[in-house]
Structure formats: structure tokens, C-alpha cells
A and B are shown apart, each in its own frame.
Chain A
Amino acid sequence: MNIKNIFNIKKLSFLLMAISMTFIACEDFLDETAPIGLTDDKLTDLSSMNALVNGAYDKMRGFYAYQPMITSGFVRDYVVRNSANWTPYYKWTVSGVPQMFSGNSYNNGMRALNAINTVLTANIDDMYGTQADKSKVLGDAHFLRAAIYFQLNMYYTLPSTGNSIPLITTVLGTNDRVSVATSAAIKAQVESDIEKAREHFKVANGVSTHSAATAMAARIYFFHEKYNLAHERANEVINSGTSSLEANVADIYTKGAGSSEAIYSIITNRTENTFGPQSIGNSNFQADKDKGVASLNPNSLIAQLKNAQPNDKRFSDLFTSKDGLIYVDKKYPSLDSDYIVLRLPEMYLTRAEASIMVNGSVSAAAVSDVNMVRNRAGVTPIAGTPSTADMLEMIYNERSIELCFEYGDRFLNTRRLKKDIVAEGGNGTIPHSNYNELLVYPIPQSEIDIHNLKR
């Protein structure tokens, strides 16, 4: 190789070193931003507020996912076949409520609340958009906060102290520490939020609607034992005419959010999220002895009511007798059907009972409300005007049949009325005084550790 070539190689060496140096000079080389996902500085317009609300609704799928299974286990409406996972939830008298699935509502609820609080603390007034667009976002945010805190408060309140979980209405940083709120404080926040949701939805419906918020308000006041307000809201929903009973009970669940009696539903879309109450309900309740997990407990109140009126369509059309078992499968007809959180019959039953609680006597209207539900189920209507005690018992049974294996009304209503729960083996009952303190969801241990929470 001649001198000239050597010189060129030398030059090349320096050139390569120089190229390397340009990397050093070029700091951009180290600027790698995530190509996927939105950074937090972009959350400045109504579109991103909407996206946060949608994200919160997605979290509601997980929030509700295990509720029907856990709460139906609490009142022992089902028995579990061969599932080490679910056995503890209907044998809770032995060991208490495990963290395993109950923590899910806390986790998803708090994550949804983070998005909701981000929206509610943002300066939406100054964002570009119409008042209707703003009301949609704000309506949904208040609605979800009320729905989440209502439910969490119902399951996490320790009766002996009246303390519940922390009440968070702002966006907290990682170093912020909180303590538990009283159940009463949370109830007040829930009531305030649901009323704000109603106001905003009056301007424009969002993902959920004004009647959903009103119906949720009725449920909230009912379990907060503010019966006059519960009556008022249920009355408003029924009279608004936005919903009507399905003729055929099985249609409710196959139609899902599209059912005429569905007021507030969580949409199932498995391309978005495979997890939710449908997947849990369908997997566990399916009419397959070996694939499903739970079937009707022959000693349960529901089984007793079924034996008393076997032709009730809510049994004959929704339950399946097979393999010597009774499957409660048709409320979760497929992995793709929507989950109805609130539907019209609850409003009739709430209005009926609330009117009795407010007035202290049974009105014809109350009987007629209950008969609306009974007629649709093909059951003999209540004749005349029963005594208050009889009527309340009838409403309790009606609510139990109508809403069993759904979002948890069976347990909340049983506890509200301090009624007994059938014992694990079917022999005898467990009084309210024994289960009231035991059937409380455990706060996730990590939350207890971080905030040093004491209920």
C-alpha cells in the first residue's frame, strides 16, 4: 500500500473519531421520548378531560368485576364447587373476608377517582368548548365519584367505629398522607356529588345520563336511609318515562345496556378490556358443572323463595336445572353482554319501600309498584293492602328475587334490615350482630402501611 493510501486511512481514522465526537456534541441523541402514551402536560383541553372520564369508566369494569360474586357469597346465595379461590367467600365465618378479590374494588375505584379528581380540579371553565360539552364531562366526573364512594363506603365502613376509607377529592401526590374519613363524611360527599351530577346532566348527558344520576341518587338515599329523598328521586326516574320494563326477563340481560329498563350500565367490549363483571359472572355462574364454579345454594333464601313460587319467570327463565344443580346463569348470558348496574325495577321497589318508611303505612301506590315488578315476572300480584310489616317483608323478598346475583343489593339490603344470613351448612342462621362486623372488606395492606390507616 502506498503512502497516499496510508494517509487516507489516517484521515479516515480522524474522520471516524470526529463522527463519534458529533454524537457527543449532539445531545439530541439521548432524547428518547416514549412513542406511546400521553404525557401529563397535554391534559389541558376538553378532549383530554373526556379521555380521562372514559378511562375512569374503563376502570369501573374492574371496580364492579367481583362485586356480584363476593356479595352473593356473603349472603350465601350460592355454593362453590371445586374452587379454592371462591370457597373462602362463602365460608367467611371461618376466616373472615380475604383480600384476594375484595381489594379489586378499592384498587380500581381509587384509580378511577384519580382521573375523576384530575378532571374536577382542572380549570374546565377556561377550556375551549361549549357549556354542554363541559357539563357532560363534569356530570360524568361527579356521577362516577358518587358511585365509587357510595359503594366503597358501603363495604369498607367498620360498624364499631363508623370509620371508612380516606376521602379524596383532590389530586394527591405521592408524598401526601391521608387518614380514614367517617362514613358520615363520605355519605355527605356522595350525596353532594350525585346532586351535582344531576345538575350537569340536566344541561347535557355524558356517558351516563340524568336519569342514571337520579336513579343512583335514589339508591344512595335509600341505603343512606334518607327515604324521602330516595322516594323523590325514584319517583322522578319512573315518571320521566326514559325507561320501561322489558316484557321478557331474560331479554334484560342479553340486551344489556340496550335494554329498555337498563338505567346505568357498564359496556362490555372485550377488545378494550376482557376483565369485568361479565367475564367473572359468566365464568363462575355458567351452567357447566366442571367449568363453572357457583350454583344456587339449596339452603339459601333465594332457593326457599324459588321453591315457594317455582313459576316465577325470574327463576324459570333465568336459572337452569341440570346435573342435580341449579345454575344461576342467565344474568350473565355471555362474556360479551353488558353489565347493568341499575335498572328500573329497583326504582319501583325503592319507591314502594321508601313511601312506607316515610309514611309509616302502606299505600295503594306502593302495592302497585311492587305489582309492576311481580306482574312482569308472571307472579300473582299482591291483592289488597297488606299490613306494613307484611308489606315490608314482601318487598324484601321481591328485592331479593329481582336483584339477586347482581351488583350486591341482596347483601346491602339484608344488612340494612338487620336480617339473618343463612348459615354455611344450611343449618340455622347467623344474626346481624354476628356478621355485621365480620363482613367488612379489608383495606389493602399496602394502603394501611403507607398511611398508617386505622378504621
Chain B
Amino acid sequence: MFFFIFLFNINVFSQEISGTVTGEGNPLPGASVVNLSNGVGVTSDFDGNYTLTGVNQGDEIEFSYIGFDSQKIIFSGQLQLNVNLLESTTELDEVVVVGYGTQIQQNLSSSISKVNAEDIQGTALPSFEQALQGRAAGVQVTTGSGMSGSQTKIRIRGANSVVASSEPLFVVDGIIVESGGVSDRSNGIGFMDDGGGNLLASINPNDIKSVEILKDAAATAIYGARGSNGVILITTKSGSSGETQIDVSMDMGVSSATRKIDFVNGPEYIMLAQEAWYNSGEDPTLFWSKSGVLVDGLTKAQAMMTNTDWVDQGLRQGLASRLNISASGGDNKTKFFISGSFLDEESIFVGNEFMKITARTNLDHKVNDRLNIGTKMFFTNIDSNPVPVQNGVGSANQNLPIHPVYKADGTYFNPTRNVRAKLDLWDYESKVKTFLANWYLSYKLTDNLSFRSEYGINNINNDDEQYIDAIVDGNSEAKAFASAGMRNSWNFKNLLNYKESFGKHRIDVLAGLEASKTERKTSNIRGIGFVNSTLRTPQDASLIESYYNKDAYSFLSILARVNYDFDSKYLLSITARRDGSSRFGENKKWGLFPAVSVGYNISEEEFFSGLKNTINFMKIRASYGESGNAEIGNYAYASSYGQANYNNNNGITLSNIGDDELSWESVEQTNVGLTIQMFDNKFSLDVDAYQKTTKDMLLPYPVSLVSGLTSVTTNLGKIENKGIEATLGVTLFDTEDLTWDVDLSYAYNENKVTDLGGNPEGINIPGFGTTSIYLNMPVGIQTIPIWVGVDPASGQDIYKGLDGNNYTVAEAAAQAGSLNNFLNANRVPFGKPYPDFTGSFSSSLNYKNWYMNTLWNFAVGQTYIASGEQIQGKFAFGSMDITPLRSQLGRWRNPGDVTRVAQVTTAPTIWGRTSEYVSEVDYLRMRDLTIGYNFNLEGDSFLQSVNLYAKFTNFLTFTNAPASMYDPENYVRPGNVNLMDKWKQVPQAKTVNLGINIKF
């Protein structure tokens, strides 16, 4: 339905035709032209030209080329027949982007998931990669929060590392790009904890043509020391010859938090607080005067009348509008794709605003038959106002519901704690400019041998400014902070590609060299104390501190790949990359990462022909290889002393203990897979099973303070991930009026530590919380004491000792000297930091002009500790300044009460986590629902198409998550340690968008 045929001269007596075969406007050398009536066939030459003789009127001629939809044309006397083939949309012939090249799905023997543009376009999520959740089996995506431009966590086939980044490598149009946070926002003047933004949020989702996710070692080894976490390849759109097409899409959306944490209200607080006061033997008549609940001039009468929901002070209804315009087109020599987009968003967080402008130019030009040049240039400007999480909505439980937001005179009540005051009086402006570009020339040295040289750059500049008003500061000092950061990366690669086929043998050889370097600089200046409130820049402060940092890393790589297939039946691919990096220790500068994969298209065999009507296609695949993880920090291999001045004299202090042997983590992966298509391709199944072993894990190996530090970076131990992924696709209807496709994906992964070197007893990683690594347990668990329940007789918590006995609080304190001592001494490894399985269900339904697409995700089996809300809430009355969760209402009151909440008292906080706080978090969520309508247009309309749609994101969620959590999709922290425990939760957003897409 998409093809164009250009008919020229008509001559009924001609017995010979000639013409050009093009693919998406480019000449296709080697295309097959076959007269189906007599079986005579030819292939097109280097410029796509062909000549076919002996053609009779009425003969059917087939034009085909791998990766493109074939066309059949009835010969009706044309002298010249030029055919433009369109890229295949059927799965088997689909072109799949692999590292440094492309391959046809059918000939692929590695494990790669392809996500199409439609699934990402127009996403209302903070960043495009968050829309990948549920689109590829075994790719677990967690969205940071509902904040604009929030971070993402992606684990492809489980967590490979303990502390080295386990995020996949992102490659945009062949350039390895910087991902992760924009700036360290907790380094300024307060605790932002918003994740520092997300560099990938700069990418315009509507520019993306396809996303390929490389999963097994055979696919990732071409990225060598940086491939082991999986690789996400993003390919942007390019133009095609023909009329210029203009595409305009606009949408508007509203959003709100998916859930809110359930805290007690004012009257409930007073009831519990008075009960705790009384239970601890205090004089009930002195509650109001002595307990401390009345702060900042509040009276009892005012407190009794106040009922503030502090969560509502930090959250609001969000609003967003997007506009995207693109133009694409070109002629035989030059093709272009130019786009611009604009996003203006006010997220669900009070004070959070985000404005993004993107501009893209993709150009390809054919200089002559042999030489092509081109460029892709992308610029983004983001101007945003992040807001603090810990001090914003995260501090909702550090205000009491009996406290008002404002005093009678309109000023903020108790401003140093007031959620609203902090959000209003804490200004943060973050500007990020990103420039991502590459330029290439490709030259055909011979018909079979081509050379490609490509230079790419990725420049990121961030400019952050903060100001905190004195009235919200604990020491009444106004603070200002400015930070300028710069990251400049360049990348230069030269590739030789040799393609040859002889007989049924086809070979595709790639060899290349790549050099890249990234430099980063950060300059921070902080000013404290200003003589006048109109002064807001650090330079005007009475006290000025400065900080400067600079670092760099480089990679040098040699890569090679051989793809071979025999008659598209037997497939073999061998890959190797040798990577050197400045990040590695003196004695381990270079590493080699090889991989091999084989595939067998069994359905192409003669003996299979009997089955072929039922099983249209069947392939079995296997691969084995090794790739690495170089995210070990830039100078971790070297010992160093950092500045620690004293009294204006230069001082130094040990900051790192180096290791000449420090190197990458290497991951060995074995993969076996099966692809089946049945019943006229209406049923498809992809199953992969894998086993990954990370060797030489990079660990912050805990060392004693006697060495001067708490940890050193070292390579030690092994982690194993093994699992199964399955994707099932069924076409339920495929008629002219009605098409309905459903897909189901499922992934099971088991993560465990299999070796800890000389530490069979486990390793406790220093830092906040009690993160531990134990043999035969997943990485990310915690060691915590086991809470058994509440003693019905005394109302005290009961804990399990390592001796197997149960102890009430009083008994525990008597046994160990104090409860803190007891809890420290009776910890066991505990918890499930990862879901047992994850998956998704998606459906795509088209009826006449209507369509409805939906995506549901699920995750089952994870456990979690909402530590801030739970711990503070349990001990809310020791300090009378914390609002407990509503679940505290179920507390023990009288002997014989069987409860899960101990008696409320004024006992002081015990910070240690216990299993009491652990809850299971399973969920099923409607990630996306899009309902749209395509208008019928008059034939002479200047419009090509008009489409209206409504998009619902995260709209429905079913979960057993406790009321101490905003949302079951819970971004705990970027790494793999301490995964069960987040101090303060951050809400996620659900959105409804209305959009229109018009093509001219």
C-alpha cells in the first residue's frame, strides 16, 4: 500500500526492460529481479540498475531485497521500470540495528529486542527511556519519580554489579553518550535528593526511529569493556527522497500523584500523642505545656482546630504541553530530517517547572556513487526548577497535622520545618545545554569493501543556581550556590566493512578502530550570609567557599566482527573488541572481550517443508561471550591525598588507596534462544534463557578505619544472574476493518552472589544502612534483626535473637545491656531486593478509524522498607515532632490485644531497621492506554492525515504496597546496594494527555 511506481515509456513490442531498484530512495545494489513466469532472474548492479530480457506482456516480475518488502509488478510493455522498495515491516525481514552496523532479523543469532518509534512517541513520562518499560522482556525500567526530567534505572537481565554502575550503555546514532544525572544537587546548600536530573531527558522522543536493546554477550561484546550491562541503541529518523513531509503534533496533559502516603490527621495525632505521653508515665495535665507539640507561638485552642495535610502542601495537579514539528524529505542525492520540539511542564511537585527546547538536523548527501557524507546534529536547551524532595514533600511527616501552614499574620508557621515555606523560599534554577553531533563520510573502496569514518561529539553544559532564604535555614543564614559543569566528549572511529557472497555463502566482516575521550569540569561557589535580602548570588555573601574539580577518561579500542551465513540457514557471528582505558590500573590497561553466536533457521531446511504451513519460521540460537563494565570511576586505581586545609595552612588527607591491578568487571554470558512463527505468522514466540556470571566484581571493599579509609575499590567475587525471557505475540484479528494484536512478555531473573573470595562470611559495605553481600543471596539485601510481633501481654515488640529465642524489648535490653546493643548483635541477612518476575501485557486494536493501544506492567516478589516514614512514625512521640502513619492507630492498648503495632510511648528513636518495616511490594499497572481516531480526509485535502488521541499514563495501579509508600514503582537509589531501603519516598505521576497529530 505504500509503493510508488514510476512509469515511463510504454512499448507493447518490447521484450526487454531495464530500470533502477531503489530502497527508500537509495540505489540498491544486488537487488533481485525475477520474472516469476519463466524463472529468469538478474541482480541489480552497483547503482541499482538492472536489465531483464525475454519478458512478455502479462509476466509477473518480482523485485526483492533483504530487509525490504518485495514488490510484484505485471509487465505491461514498459521500457523502463524503476521500483522503490520500502523497508520491511514484517518481523523477519526487519532491519535490526546492531553495534556498528545493521543486520536482518532472520540472520540474527544474538539476543536483541527492538522497540519501535510508536511506543515511545508522545510519551508523557519524564524521559523517553522510561517508555521502554514493558516493551522488551528482561529489561526492567524504573522511573525516578513524577518530577520533570527525573532519573531512570534500567536493569537488563538483572544487576551485574555491586557498586559499579549497572546502567546500560546508551548509544545515540553510533555515539556513546553520557547518561545519568545532570549535576550533583545535594552538594549545594541543602539536601535536594531529586536524583540530580537526567541527561537522557534531553533527547526528543519524537526524533527516534527505533530503539534496539542488546542483551546477550554476542550482541554487547562489540562494546567491549562497556557492554556488560546491555546496550541501548537509539537511531534517529532520517529523510527519504520524495515530497517534503511536515509532521506537527501537539498535546496537553494534566497529572497528579498516583497515591499519597496515609498519615494520621489532627484529632488522631492528638489522641495518639496524649496516649503515648500517658503511657510513659507523664502527667496528662502537662501534655500541652510540656510535651513540645506547641511550637512557634501555637496555642492549644489553635492546635485543636488545625488539621493540615502536609503532603498536599508539597504536591499539586501538574500541567504539561508539548509541541513537535518535523520536516523530512529530499531527492536522490540529499535527504534531510529537521525537527524541533518544545515542552513546558509543571509537574505534580509544587514549584517544579521544566522547559525543554530541542532542535535536530539530520542530513545525508551522496557526493557520487562511491562517496556519501552526512551529519546528525542535535541541540537541547533545558531550563528547569527542580525542587527538594527530602526537605519538600519528603518532610511532610516532620510537620504535625495540628500545625498550620501560615500564622494568623500570613507568615509561615515554623518555617524551618514547614514544607510549603521550604518549597517557596528555596529557589533552584538548573540550565542544561546539550549538543550531540556526528559527521561521517563513507566511501566504497570496491564494490565489496567500504570505509566509514565518523567523528562525534557530545557536549553538555550545566549551570545551576540555588538560593535559600534565611527564614527557612536552621541557623538563620541565607545561602546561595552556583555551579557550572562541563562535559566534553569526542569520539573518532574508522571502520572497514567487507561484504561478499559466493554461492550460498554470505560473509560480512567489520574491522575498526575507535578512540574516545571525555573531560569533565565542575566549578562550585557557595555563599553564606547576606547583608540584604536583595542579594542572592554567592559573590555577595559574607562567607564564600569554592570548589573545583576536573577529571577525564579515555578509551582506545580495536573491534572486529565476522558474520557468516549459509543460505540464510546456518548463521555464525564472531565478535571481539580489545579495549584500553585510562580508568584501569597500571598493570591492567587492556582487556579483550570476545563472543560467538550461532543460529539455525531450521524452518528453511528441506525436511521442514511439510511443517512450514503451520510453523512458518523457526530458529534456534546460542551465544557465548564476555563483555565488561568499566564504570569503576576515573582514578580509582591511584592512591591519592585530597585537600584538607587547617587555619589557612595547606593540609592533606588520604582520599583513596590505589591498586595497580584494578580493572573492569567482566561478565560471561551464555544465551540460548528459540524463535517460532506459526499460523500464517499470526502467532509468534521468542524465548531466551541465559546465564551471566560477573567476575572480578568491583567492590568498595570495606576496610578498617585503621587504614585511614572505610573502603577501597577492588575486584573481588562473582555474581550470577540467570533467567528466562519470553515474548508471545498473537494476532487475533487481521481484517480490513479490524486488526488486533496482543503481546505478552515475561521475565524471570535470579540474582545471587556466588563467590566472595576470602570472605565466605559475607561483606558489609560501609555507608548508610546495613548493606551486605552474602554468598548465595542476591546483591542488595540488608542485614537486620527479625521482628516477631507484639507481645499481647505487655504491648512490647518482640525480636528474635540469633539463639532462636524471642525477646521482648525489656528482655532484649536486659540480655544485651541495651536494646541498641541487642539489635546490633542479632542481625541476619534479609529481604528480596528484586522482583521474582516481571512482565507486561500489551494490546493494539484498530477498528476502522479508531484505535486503542494499551500496556500493562507487573512485578511480583520484591520487598521494601520505607524507612523514613516507618522508623520516624514508630517513634513519633519520643520527640513529639513527627506525624505517624495512620497504621499506628492499630496500636496495642490493653493486655490481651493482639496487634501488629506496639504500645505507643515516648521512647526515643531507634534508627536501626528491623524486619517490622519490611513489606512486600507487588503491582500491576496500566502504564499506557491510548485511544485515538484517524480522520478520513478528502482526496484533494492539503493534509495527509489527521489523528486525535487521548493518552493515559500510569492511570490504574493495583498493588499490595503499604500506605507508607507513594507508589509501588519505587526508585530507591541508582546503584545495587541498599535497595530495600529509602529514607523518604517520592511520588510518581499519573497523567492524561489529549493530543493531535497532523501530517502535511
In the assembled complex, B641 has its CB within 8 A of some CB on chain A: yes
Tell me the complex Cα distance, A53–B513, Å: 49
User: Which of B136-144, B160-168, B650-658 touches A?
Assistant: B650-658
Q: Which residue of A lies closest to B643 (CB)?
A: A37
A445 touches B705 (CB 8 A): no
A267 to B654, CA, bound (A): 21
Across the interface, B647 reaches (CB within 8 A) one of A57, A111, A282, A438, namely A57
Q: Which residues of B contact A53 (CB under 8 A)?
A: 651
* B435 lies within 8 A of chain A by Cβ: no
A407 and B657 alpha carbons, distance in the complex (Å) = 33
Q: Which of B296, B496, B553, B872 contacts A289 (CB 8 A)?
A: B296
Binds B, one of A233-241, A269-277, A346-354, A356-364: A269-277
A66 to B533, CA, bound (A): 32
Which listed segment binds B: A25-33, A121-129, A220-228, A308-316?
A25-33
Complex contact B653–A58 (CB within 8 A): yes
B443 within 8 A of A: yes
- For A88, the chain B residues whose CB sits under 8 A away are 878, 908-910
User: How many Å lie between the Cα of A141 and that of B651 in the bound state?
Assistant: 14
Interface residues of A in 52-81 (CB under 8 A from B): 52-59, 80-81
Which residue from A9, A30, A82, A207 sits with its C-beta under 8 Å from B581? A30
Q: Which residues of B contact A288 (CB under 8 A)?
A: 476
Is B674 engaged at the interface, CB distance under 8 Å to the other chain? no
Asked if B983 is at the interface of the complex by the 8 Å CB criterion, the answer is no
Tell me the complex Cα distance, A382–B77, Å. Answer: 130
- Those of A177-195 within 8 Å (CB) of chain B: 177-178
B371 and A1 within 8 A (CB): yes
Question: Interface residues of A, CB < 8 Å — how many?
Answer: 100
Q: Are B647 and A20 in contact (CB under 8 A)?
A: no
Q: Give, as a whole number of angstroms, the nearest-CB distance from A170 to chain B.
A: 9
The answer to whether B879 and A84 have CB atoms under 8 Å apart is: yes
Which of A90-98, A247-255, A367-375 has 4 or more CB atoms under 8 Å from chain B?
A90-98
| B513 interface neighbour in A21, A52, A84, Cβ under 8 Å | A21
Q: Say whether A84 contacts B875, CB under 8 Å.
A: yes
The digit string for B413-443, where 1 denotes a CB below 8 A from any CB of A, is 0101100000000000000000000000001
Does A82 contact B880, Cβ atoms closer than 8 Å? yes
Most buried by A among B552, B556, B707, B908: B908
User: Which of B101-109, B819-827, B922-930 binds A?
Assistant: B819-827
Q: Which of B170-178, B344-352, B502-510, B632-640 contacts A (4 or more CB under 8 A)?
A: B632-640
Return B661 CB to nearest CB of chain A, in Å: 13
User: B-facing mask of A155-185, CB < 8 A → 1, else 0?
Assistant: 0000000000010100111101110000000
Q: How far is the CB of B853 from chain A (nearest CB, A)?
A: 45
Contact of B281 (CB < 8 Å), options: A29, A171, A425: A425
Q: How close is B690's CB to chain A, nearest CB, in angstroms?
A: 32
When distances are taken between beta carbons in the complex, the residues of chain B under 8 Å from A383 are: none
Q: Indicate whether B702 reaches chain A with its CB closer than 8 angstroms.
A: yes
Chain A 9-66 interface residues, beta-carbon cutoff 8 Å to B: 9-10, 12-13, 16-17, 19-21, 23-24, 27, 29-40, 43, 48, 50-59
Q: Check if B308 is an interface residue, CB within 8 A of chain A.
A: no
With a cutoff of 8 Å between Cβ atoms, the chain B residues found around residue A389 in the complex are none
| B411 interface contact, C-beta 8 A | no
Q: Which residues of B contact A21 (CB under 8 A)?
A: 513
A34–B638 contact, CB under 8 A?
yes
A355 close to chain B: CB less than 8 A:
no
A451 at the interface (CB under 8 A from B): yes
| Chain A CB within 8 A of B738 CB | no
Q: Is B764 touching A446 in the complex (CB atoms < 8 A)?
A: yes
Q: Are A54's CB and B371's CB within 8 A?
A: no
Q: For B515, list chain A residues within 8 Å (CB).
A: 20, 23, 29
CB contacts (< 8 Å) of B494 on chain A: these are 16-17, 19-20
Q: Is A172 in contact with B635, judged by CB distance below 8 angstroms?
A: no
B747 within 8 A of A: no
Is B528 at the interface (CB under 8 A from chain A)? yes
Chain B residue nearest to A289 (CB atoms) is: B295
Residue B40 CB within 8 A of the other chain: no
- Which of B242-250, B543-551, B608-616, B942-950 forms contacts with chain A? B543-551
The answer for the CA separation of A270 and B910 in the assembled complex, in Å, is 32
Q: Mark A292-314, 1 if CB is under 8 A from B, else 0.
A: 00000000000000000000000
CB <8 Å contact, B764 and A445: yes
Interface string of B491-517 (1 = CB under 8 A from A): 011101000000000000000011101
B875 nearest in chain A by CB position: A84
Decide: B818 and A207 in contact? CB cutoff 8 A: no
Asked if residues B634 and A34 are in contact (CB atoms below 8 Å), the reply is: yes
Q: Check if B712 is an interface residue, CB within 8 A of chain A.
A: yes
In the complex, the answer to whether B707 meets A54 with C-beta atoms within 8 Å is: no
Asked if B744 is at the interface (CB within 8 A of a chain A CB), the reply is no
B708 and A114 contacting across the interface, CB-CB below 8 Å: yes
For A436-449 the 0/1 string (1 means CB < 8 A from B) is 01100010111101
B554 & A172 in contact (Cβ 8 Å cutoff): no
Is the CB–CB distance between A115 and B654 below 8 Å? yes
Task: Mark interface residues in A194-212 (1 if CB within 8 Å of B CB, else 0).
Answer: 0000000000000100000
Contact B640 A39 (CB under 8 A): yes
CB pair A111–B654 under 8 Å, yes or no, is yes
Asked if residues A446 and B475 are in contact (CB atoms below 8 Å), the reply is no
Is there contact, CB below 8 Å, between A57 and B651? yes
Q: Which of B287-342 contact A (CB under 8 A)?
A: 292, 295-296
Q: Mark B868-881, 1 if CB is under 8 A from A, else 0.
A: 00001001001111
| B817 contacts the other chain (CB 8 A) | yes
Give complex CA distance A97, B818 in Å: 8
Tell me whether A365 is interfacial, beta carbon within 8 Å. Answer: no
Nearest Cβ distance between residue A4 and chain B, in whole angstroms?
A: 13
B766 in contact with A24 (CB, 8 Å): no
Interface residues of B in 528-572 (CB under 8 A from A): 528, 543-545, 548-554, 556, 558
- The minimal Cβ–Cβ distance linking A357 to chain B, given in whole angstroms, is 31
Cβ B818 vs Cβ A9 within 8 A: no
Q: Of the candidates B414, B642, B648, which one forms a contact with A37 in the assembled complex, judged by CB atoms under 8 Å apart?
A: B642
Contact between chains at B879 and A9 (CB < 8 Å): no
Q: Are B640 and A34 touching (Cβ within 8 A)?
A: yes
Beta-carbon nearest neighbor of A274 in chain B: B545
Most buried by B among A12, A13, A83, A438: A13
The answer, among B475, B581, B645, B702, for a CB contact under 8 Å with A58, is B645
Taking CB atoms, residues of chain B closer than 8 Å to A50 are 649-650
Q: Which of A6, A32, A83 contacts B634 (CB 8 A)?
A: A32
Q: Which residue of chain A is the closest to B450 with respect to CB atoms?
A: A13
Chain B CB within 8 A of A260 CB = no
The answer to whether A30 touches B589 (Cβ under 8 A) is: yes
Within 8 A of A (CB), among B646-674: 646-658
At the interface, yes or no: B933 with Cβ under 8 Å from chain A? Answer: no
B543 touches A271 (CB 8 A): yes
B907 on the A face (CB < 8 A)? yes
Minimal Cβ-Cβ distance residue in B for A98: B820
Q: Across the interface, name the chain A residue whose C-beta is closest to B635.
A: A34
| A417 within 8 A of partner (CB) | no
Residue B985 is within 8 A (CB to CB) of chain A in the complex: no
Q: Which residues of A contact B712 (CB under 8 A)?
A: 174
A291, CB-defined interface residue at 8 Å: yes
B879 touches A82 (CB 8 A): yes
Indicate if the CB atoms of A30 and B647 lie closer than 8 Å. Answer: no
* List of B residues within 8 angstroms of A9 by Cβ: 370-371, 443
Asked if residues B496 and A17 are in contact (CB atoms below 8 Å), the reply is yes
Flag whether A286 is at the interface (Cβ < 8 A): yes
22 sampled A-B residue pairs with Cβ under 8 A: A1-B368, A23-B513, A37-B655, A51-B641, A51-B650, A54-B645, A54-B647, A56-B653, A57-B646, A87-B908, A88-B908, A88-B910, A91-B878, A96-B819, A97-B820, A114-B706, A269-B647, A269-B648, A272-B646, A272-B647, A447-B705, A449-B764
User: What 16 additional pairs, Cβ within 8 angstroms, besides A40-B639, A269-B648?
Assistant: A10-B445, A30-B581, A32-B552, A34-B634, A39-B638, A54-B646, A54-B652, A95-B818, A107-B705, A115-B708, A168-B706, A174-B657, A174-B712, A267-B647, A290-B414, A450-B702
* 6 cross-chain pairs, A with B, having the tightest CB-CB distances, nearest first: A96-B818, A54-B651, A114-B708, A32-B582, A110-B705, A82-B881
